Amino acid sequence: MSALSRLRAWGAPLLPGVMLSATIAAAAAFLGAHYGAPVMLFALLLGMAFNFLHEDGPCRAGVEFSAKFILRLGVGLLGIRIAFDDLAQIGVQGAGLLIGLIALTIAAGFLAAPLFRRQWRFALLTGGAVAICGASAALAIAAVIPHNDKTERNTLFTVMAVTALSTIAMVVYPLLFQGLGFSEVQQGFLIGATIHDVAQVVGAGFSVSDTAGEMATITKLFRVAMLPVVLIAIVLVLRVAGPGAGQGKIPLLPWFMVLFLALVALGSAVDLPGALVAQVDTVSRACLITAIAALGVKTSLRALTAVGGGHLAIVVIETLALLALASTALYAFAIL
């Protein structure tokens, strides 16, 4: 059998599910652009409407492929956005503050979870999503933590919650930070440090001023750059915890994180054309939206509505903790 024949034999069972996920993603992108609403949220909700196609039939294998491989590819390609020269503009104090905020936000999730009888997986998933980069971080963390029967449902809920909260924050936070008397640079830093998703950070930052928008974007990219660091830490802890904590041997550095770091290194060493960066970033976003659509197809509305108020309470607590810690630290240490 030729290589082409083997490729066809491998890809044919995946095609219906991948096409379904990609079509839902395209519809979500159209609706998001037309109505100015979060694309991830549209992809999730539209995907859930097609849950019946995942039960049985030709779409199942491709949907699983989209929710796993295409997801990881999208996360790996996120590295194209980041270069060390950009991150250096944050400064040592700013970098230290952001690292501390990430750690404390994740810790807040672990402290809040037992209060609502939720497991450590959910605390880590939501804490990482709030602390780092919203939906993208949730998807990346879900790819490395041990799965159980609630993992996909919790991942989708986390994506939905952080996307909704980011949209609210995009409107509220600029007004709040201005009312508290922060300078434009400080407002940009706080917006980048506290809003979950990149798109909402950019929208909120540039609604204040170009200066605030640029600082918000750089600050957010620093948080995104911490994603592989957090993932490696998670994997190390799980490996030390032993077989009971995971499912089989977890690679120290998953292939998609190798891709992420390679793109960061490439972008830092070489001045990549802006058009190329934009195209790769578009592919990354398309992969993530497709993966969200696939996860939506895999999850029934009944399962998602069964999560209870405790899930939402934990995400809100983490969000408010991040906001309070960042604002207080900027006041206390007079950074920027």
DSSP 251: P
**In sequence order, which residues have a C-beta less than 8 Å from that of residue 108 and are 6 or more positions away?**
127, 317, 318, 321, 322
Sign, CA dihedral 318-324-327-329, equals: negative
Q: Name the residue ranges covered by the structural domains of the chain.
A: 15-333
Q: What pLDDT score was predicted for residue 215?
A: 93
Q: What pLDDT score was predicted for residue 1?
A: 58
Dist. CA 254–CA 210, nearest whole Å: 37
pLDDT tens profile 28-74: 999 988 887 788 888 988 998 898 888 777 898 999 999 889 988 99
pTM of the model: 0.84
Q: What pLDDT score was predicted for residue 137?
A: 92
Q: What pLDDT score was predicted for residue 262?
A: 93
Q: What pLDDT score was predicted for residue 298?
A: 86
**In sequence order, which residues have a C-beta less than 8 Å from that of residue 75 and are 6 or more positions away?**
136, 139, 140, 143, 227, 256, 257, 260, 284, 288
pLDDT tens profile 84-108: 887 888 888 899 999 999 999 999 9
Q: What pLDDT score was predicted for residue 246?
A: 47
Q: What pLDDT score was predicted for residue 226?
A: 93
Dist. CA 177–CA 326, nearest whole Å: 11
Dist. CA 171–CA 247, nearest whole Å: 41
Q: Which residues of the chain fall below pLDDT 50?
A: 245-246
